[in-house]
Amino acid sequence: METRRQKHLVLILAREFASNLATPTAIADDHGTVVFYNEAAEAVVGTPFAETADLSLDEWSQRFNPRAESGPVPPEELAGHVALQERRAVHERYRVTSMDGVERDVAVTAFPLFAQGDEFVGIVVIFWRE
């Protein structure tokens, strides 16, 4: 029988905060599993959060085919991945293809979430159209 990890209080509070934002926001845990994205993000992703179980941050990000001026962006260079692996804030601009097939220029800010001291618990990714 598979046991589910209990979510850290910081992730629960981040989810509550994100659920009240009109800005598309996603939250991933310390393993890079997307544990929530808000209704504004659902409109871009094209799928309600309830229908995406255990989606990794990389899988979630790649749905948008993110590109820089120089071409496709490797997963390890995406803002969310950098925040997750290097535990630092990052801001990038990409051209993405939304689920509706429309190309858009977006700005993405991702930052790590820490509990007490240096206890890393996950990341927040916020994005908006430019």
The fraction of the chain above a pLDDT of 70, given in percent, is 95
- Domain range 9-129, CATH class: alpha beta
Q: Given pLDDT bands bounded at 50, 70 and 90, which one contains residue 82?
A: very high
Measured between alpha carbons, how far is residue 20 from residues 9, 14, 106, 108, 122 in Å? Answer: 17, 10, 21, 19, 19
pLDDT at 80 (0 to 100): 95
In single-letter form, the type of residue at position 100 comes to D
Q: Given pLDDT bands bounded at 50, 70 and 90, which one contains residue 111?
A: very high
pLDDT at 1 (0 to 100): 47
The fraction of the chain above a pLDDT of 90, given in percent, is 59
pLDDT surpasses 60 at 2: no
* pTM for the model: 0.89
Could you give the CA distance from residue 16 to residue 30 in angstroms, rounded to a whole number?
A: 18
